[in-house]
Structure 1
Amino acid sequence: MNFRQLDLNLLRVLVAIHRTRSVTAAGKALALSQPATSNALARLREFFGDELFVRSPVGLQPTRLCEQLAPAMQSQLLAMESLVLNHQPFNAQSSHRHWRLSLSDLGEILFLPRLASSLRQESPQASLSNVSVDASQVAAALESRDIDMAIGILKPQHRGIRSQLLFKERYMAISSKDWSPTPRGRGRTLSPAQLAQAHFLVVSPTATFHGSVEKMLTGMKLQDRILVRPRHFGAIAELAQNTDLLCIVPEMYARELSQRVQLQMWTIEDAPAYEVNLVWHSSTEQDSDQQWMRRVIERLFRRLDV
């Protein structure tokens, strides 16, 4: 085994397959074709004299040697990337950086337009993708650099994950103009007794959003009164306008929606607050480009009352 004969690009393939347990998924993450990724794996197997991965019903499983190699290689690759980036001053105006953020369905509605507008002005050659990552996998995606950062109701407890509180929110209810609570009240705050007589629409999104609304209603023993569960927020306005259902949504979205659509907004008595955080990996802490993007996001979305 002669280290000088090893193409170091192959190590990125090894790390990607180890992370995704799939040749196809690893190729997509590295912008390689499936045949090119398979060829790289064959070269790695020949160099190390080991299968490295074996097929199983749940995907490719690493051999003992691979389990020793891949984590150490990933750590070294991230360190080298940070070392290179830290010695290159970041120029936003001329950068062709492709930013990969993870935003929930609602986050895409609330954050992406303002962020894209700012990028077009401050870094016009840059591109931006919203990468769908399940909340439980955000820390791993940050560590592997599949995403640069994420925004959402996130507080990963993994080592190496950094976070910045952007703002605190609460849930509100929206309804059609014709809806009224039972028993009737005089104000715009719904009591537990009024909620107990309502029927609900609760969005059940994926990615970086979790089921806080459903948890709240379950705590009130109202989960059986949830009648509609759409996967996305896109249909909320029409559903609220054309049904007698009470839609529970974050306050920021309720206020944004009410500016465009004729709806009623209701405060929920004792509704729990939650935190919206910007999260990133500590290995990017000193990267000048990452620091710039974090400053942009904080400027756009961080509230001073946090």
Structure 2
Amino acid sequence: MNFRQLDLNLLRVLVAIHRTRSVTAAGKALALSQPATSNALARLREFFGDDLFVRSPVGLQPTRLCEQLAPAMQSQLLAMESLVLNHQPFEALSSQRHWRLSLSDLGEILFLPGLAAALRSESPQASLSNISVDAAQVASALEARDIDIAIGILKPQHRGIRSQLLFKERYMAISSQDWSPTPRGRGNTLSLAQLAQARFVVVSPTATFHGSVEKMLTAMKLQDRILVRPRHFGAIAVLAQSTDLLCIVPEMYARDLSQRLQLQMWTIEDAPVYEVNLVWHASTDQEADQQWMRGAVKRLFSRA
């Protein structure tokens, strides 16, 4: 085994397959074709004299040697990438950077327009993608540089993950102008007794950052009052306008819809407060481009 004969680009393939447990997924992450990724794996197997990965019903499983190599290699690759990027000046106006964010379905509605407008104004040649990442996998995606930042109800406790509070919110209800609580009350705060007489719409996205809505209603013993569970927030406005249902959504979205569509907005008595955080990996702390993007997010959305 002669280290000088090893193409270091192959190590990126090893790390990607180890992370995704799939040759196809690793190729997509690295912008390589499936044959090119398979060829790289074959060269790695020949160099190390080991299978490195074996097939299983749940994807490729690393061998003992691979489990020793891949985590250490990923750490070294991140360190080298950070070292290189730290010495490159960042000019937002001329940058062609492709930013990769992780936002929930609602986060895309609330944050993407503002971020896109900021890019068009301050970094017009840059582009932006919202990458679908399950909330439980955000820390791994940040570490692997699959995404640059994440915004949401996130509190990853993994080593090397940084977070900063953007704002605190609570859940509120919106309804049509014709809806009124039973029994009738004064003001726009709904009591537990009034909520117990209503029927709810609660969004249940698959990769959710908002599962706590159902937790809140369960704690209030109102989970059986949920009548409609759409997968996306896009249906909320029509449901609120055209039915007698209460739609329970985060405050920021409730205010936006009530102002634009003349819906009623209701405060929920004793609704818990939650935190919306900006999350990133510590390895990007000193990178000028990442600092710029984090600064833009905080400037646009921070109310902490």
User: Normalization by structure 1: what TM-score?
Assistant: 0.98
Q: Distance in 2 between matches of 1:7 and 1:92?
A: 33
Which residue is equivalent to 2:92?
92
Give the conservation status (yes or no) of the 8 Å contact 1:105–1:206: no
Q: Distance in 2 between matches of 1:31 and 1:257?
A: 39
Which residue is equivalent to 1:211?
211
Give the conservation status (yes or no) of the 8 Å contact 1:151–1:208: no
Which residue is equivalent to 2:270?
270
Q: Distance in 2 between matches of 1:203 and 1:98?
A: 30
Give the conservation status (yes or no) of the 8 Å contact 1:102–1:150: yes
Amino acid paired to 1:135: A
The answer to whether 1:153 aligns with 2:153 is: yes
Amino acid paired to 2:169: E
SS at match of 1:291: helix
Q: Distance in 1 between matches of 2:49 and 2:185?
A: 75
Q: Distance in 1 between matches of 2:63 and 2:267?
A: 55
The answer to whether 1:80 aligns with 2:80 is: yes
SS at match of 1:178: coil
Amino acid paired to 1:46: E
Which residue is equivalent to 1:47?
47
Q: Distance in 1 between matches of 2:125 and 2:44?
A: 36
The 5 A counterparts of 1:160-179 are: 160-179=160-179
| 1:206 to partner: Cα distance | 3.6
SS at match of 1:83: helix
Q: Distance in 2 between matches of 1:83 and 1:128?
A: 24
Which residue is equivalent to 1:106?
106
Runs of 4+ in 1 over 6 A off after TM superposition: none
Which residue is equivalent to 2:189?
189
SS at match of 2:46: helix
Give the conservation status (yes or no) of the 8 Å contact 1:154–1:208: no
| 1:219 to partner: Cα distance | 0.2
Q: How many residues align?
A: 304
Give the conservation status (yes or no) of the 8 Å contact 1:104–1:206: no
Give the conservation status (yes or no) of the 8 Å contact 1:167–1:275: yes
Q: Distance in 2 between matches of 1:286 and 1:194?
A: 51
Which residue is equivalent to 1:228?
228
Amino acid paired to 2:228: V
Amino acid paired to 2:154: L
Which residue is equivalent to 2:279?
279
SS at match of 1:260: helix
Which residue is equivalent to 2:61?
61
Amino acid paired to 2:164: Q
Which residue is equivalent to 2:130?
130
| 1:263 to partner: Cα distance | 1.0
Amino acid paired to 2:204: S
When the two chains are superposed, the root-mean-square deviation of aligned CA atoms in Å is 0.8
| 1:115 to partner: Cα distance | 0.3
Give the conservation status (yes or no) of the 8 Å contact 1:153–1:208: no
Q: Distance in 1 between matches of 2:45 and 2:186?
A: 73
Q: Distance in 1 between matches of 2:208 and 2:151?
A: 8
Give the conservation status (yes or no) of the 8 Å contact 1:200–1:227: yes
Which residue is equivalent to 2:258?
258
Q: Distance in 1 between matches of 2:208 and 2:190?
A: 28
Deviation track 1:96-143 (CA, whole Å, cap 9, x = no partner) reads 111000000000000000100101111111110000111110001001
Q: Distance in 1 between matches of 2:42 and 2:17?
A: 12
Amino acid paired to 2:153: I
Q: Distance in 2 between matches of 1:48 and 1:220?
A: 58
SS at match of 2:145: coil
Deviation track 1:142-175 (CA, whole Å, cap 9, x = no partner) reads 0111100100000111111100100011111001
